[in-house]
Amino acid sequence: MTMETVVLTGAAGQVGSVLREPLRRRLRRLIAVDRAPLTAQGPDEEVHQAHLAEIEDVTSVIGGADAIVHLAGVPDEAPLADLLDGNVLGTHHVLEAARRTGVKRVVLASSNRLTGCYPVAQTVSAQMPPRPDGLYGVSKVAVEALGRLYADKFGLQVVCLRIGSLEPEPSEPRHLATWLSPRDCAGFVWAALTRPGITFTAAYAVSANTRRVWELDDQLGYLPRDDAEAYADRIPGSARYFTGNQLQGGDYATADYTLRYAFEQQPTDRSFR
């Protein structure tokens, strides 16, 4: 599948910052969008500061694009109203704008935390029922459902990437299963953009970790290259973590994590990254 112009929303966020340079190398034009101000990194990159709060905000920046990589949203546990606004409504705006403007391929940022309440001892596939580890995970269930709807009803080609723990290198025991290296992140996203024959798929984006707890989706055709096990000797407590009744979400799956972050009264970050 030929890919020349791609829109990247949430381009100033953690995942977007990792993707900008490898996408620019492969594309004729990258359109980077974020609420935060951006500086173009080269003549082949176009930047827009936009909130994407309305469908028209999205249609104004995606004209002529071959695909959208939608990363914008609330990036962690938060009050449900914020998650519905930033993640669910924001995704709906992107999908509807794609439908209206004829953009056929949309890659949506889902999350491994959609299944964070499965035990570490169980290998999970994208075909298994969701077991979110918090309200953030619940919002990603809705994001995937919207993608499925727009694929089934309107013919969009939608890939939902359940992104793992994107870090330069693993730094805690959970990462030995969940780590996604920057190189593999770029590989999964490019496969999601260019793989032919896709109507809808949800797939885990995770490196080739020896202790991986998620199945890879052959439909994307990308084989990850990095393994968190190379860093295991630097991470204390890694042996104990993978025994007992530990949940895949780790601390994210505790009641305290949601009570602490989802019901606090202070303003939440709606950075749309």
pLDDT digits (tens, 9 = 90+) for 162-183: 999 999 999 999 999 999 999 9
- Return phi, psi of residue 25, to 5°: -65, -30
Residue with tokens 């969009």: 156
For residue 273, being part of any structural domain is answered with no
Scan for tokens 């992140």, then name that residue: 185
Residue reference for tokens 């071959």: 66
Does a structural domain hold residue 193? yes
This prediction's pTM: 0.95
Query: How confident is the model at residue 191, as a pLDDT?
Result: 98
Give the DSSP H/E element, type plus range, for residue 180: strand 179-180
Q: Does the residue 270 lie in any domain? A: no
Which CATH number is 212's domain given? 3.40.50.720
Residue 184 lies in a domain: yes
Given a cut of 90, whether residue 231 has pLDDT beyond it is: yes
What are the C-alpha distances in Å from 175 to residues 41, 130, 146, 203, 249?
Answer: 31, 21, 29, 18, 11
Residue 266 lies in a domain: no
The structure tokens 């953030």 sit at 136
What digits encode the pLDDT tens for the residues 11-67? 999 999 999 999 999 999 999 999 999 999 999 999 999 999 999 999 999 999 999
Work out the widest C-alpha separation in the chain, in whole angstroms.
53
Q: Is the pLDDT of residue 268 over 70?
A: no
Look at residue 152 in the predicted model and tell me its pLDDT: 98
Considering the domain boundaries, does residue 269 fall inside one? no
Q: Catalytic residues, which ones?
A: 136
- Report the SS3 class of residue 13: coil
Range of the structural domain that residue 30 is part of: 5-261
Say if residue 68's pLDDT is above 70.
yes
Which residue in the block uniquely carries the two structure tokens 């949506």? 108
In angstroms, what CA-CA distances link 205 with 45, 136, 142, 182? 25, 18, 19, 11
Assess if residue 248 is contained within a domain.
yes
Contact 177, 153 (CB under 8 A): no
Would 267 be classed as within a structural domain?
Answer: no
Number of compact structural domains in the chain: 1
